Amino acid sequence: MKSYLKLLTAVLALMVSVLVGANLLLVQHDVNDSGRPYRVEASRILHTISESGFDSVDLHQYQYITNVEKLTSANRSSFYEADSDYLIIKSDNEVYRFDYTYSYDNTDNIVIINVCIALISLVCIMILLYIGINIIRPFETIKETPYELAKGHLSIPLKETKGRYFGHFVWGLDLLREKLEQQKQSELKLQKEKKTLILSLSHDIKTPLGIIELYAKALEKNLYTDEKKKQQTAIGIQHQCVEIKDYMNQIITASNEDFLHLEVQEGEFYLAELIRQIRQFYSDKLALLKTEFIIAPYDDCLLKGDCDRAVEVLQNVIENAIKYGDGTTIALSFAAEENCMLISVRNDGCTLSAPETLHIFESFWRGSNVGSNSGSGLGLYICRHLMHQMGGEIFAKNTDGTMTVTAVFEKC
């Protein structure tokens, strides 16, 4: 706000400077004799004198020249003395004095220019005040909001505003705040459930472990001499191991569900809108990377699913293509099969072996071609999870170093 006030002050100072400068120019123009109408009349009189003589001059024809006198030996002493303004001109070896009366009233021009400058200044001030009231001041009230959200202060709602410029922005920030608050509460709930589940399963695991321990001690001390009893003991140990394995599967499943708590809105979207967003995201980026970005022709159609999640799926696939390809080309192609639309992302330079390709959609799995590239091994796993939630599928094919990942969307 202080910067805005400084700007407003600077504009006012500029307008005052322009106003003063314009008046000074007009005053300067007023005192400058160049281009005055009496000079024109003097030139006409000289022309008449050169053609018809000095005595042929009729001053009644002129508005400003009141007297014309020629320099002679008789009037030399008083020639340059006159009661009015005069103009000395030498012509044909003669010197003439032209007495004139002339007053230039520049008041009207000064008033008009001052009024115009004042109106322009007023308009500029009104525009600046409008910007200050409708843009700067609302922005001052919300500029700290991102910092508060970053600090985790999510419980205080933002004040609604009907402002033309920031109304939608404030609404979006408040929606973000609510979303972050929901995610925070959901995370706390999941952590509580996870802790409860782990405590419960840990308690349940103790029972089969205790039984296995008793069986192991009995076998160690040869308490069972009967072969049939030993066989029953082995079967009991195996049964308890299966039970422990089931508990471990529950823990793994619960852990997976924690980071795959992704919401998908059931709906429909046009293929053209999906491709428009992908083109917008990657045209400039791939141009900077000197990677050719090819989007094959396609027929627009309506697809089932969540457009935002579909964009996320293609973004993950393209990011993988950028990271693990040779950087020459990334191509999008399309194919329609029965009631589905297949969107394929192809890149060259894939060094992943064919057997490894079967595992790229598994969680936390990273192939032998990762090199120094950072990652968690969850990108394509999340893609598959999202596609399944939208009723679609995703698969990959690696042929002679060309990786093609295809997302299958169901048509409406």
pLDDT tens, residue order, the chain (412 aa): 555 556 566 666 666 666 666 566 655 554 444 457 888 888 888 888 888 888 888 888 888 888 888 888 888 888 888 888 888 988 888 899 999 887 666 666 667 877 887 788 788 878 877 777 777 776 776 666 776 667 666 565 666 555 556 666 677 777 777 777 777 777 777 677 767 767 676 767 777 887 788 778 877 777 777 778 878 888 888 888 888 887 777 776 666 555 556 778 889 999 999 999 999 888 888 888 899 999 999 999 999 999 999 999 999 899 888 888 888 999 999 999 889 999 999 998 887 777 777 878 876 666 655 555 655 567 788 889 899 999 999 999 888 888 899 999 999 8
CATH number (3.10.20, 1.10.287, 1.10.3470, 1.10.390) of 152-261 reads 1.10.287
- pLDDT (0 to 100) of residue 177: 75
Tell me, rounded to whole angstroms, the distance of Cα 211 from its chain centroid: 63
Q: Which of 63, 101, 59 is nearest to 82 (CA)?
A: 101
**Does this model's pTM top 0.75?**
no
- pLDDT (0 to 100) of residue 34: 44
Q: Which of 83, 60, 86, 84 is nearest to 70 (CA)?
A: 86
Considering all CA atoms of the chain, what is the largest pairwise distance in Å, rounded to the nearest integer?
167
For residue 96, list its beta bridge partners: 70, 89
How do the domains of the chain map onto residue ranges? 152-261, 268-410
- pLDDT (0 to 100) of residue 220: 77
Output the CA–CA distances (angstroms, integers) from residue 338 to 35, 59, 150, 412, in the order listed: 89, 105, 47, 12
CATH number (3.10.129.10, 3.40.930.10, 3.40.50.2300, 3.30.565.10) of 268-410 reads 3.30.565.10
- The answer to whether domain 152-261 and domain 268-410 are alike in fold is no
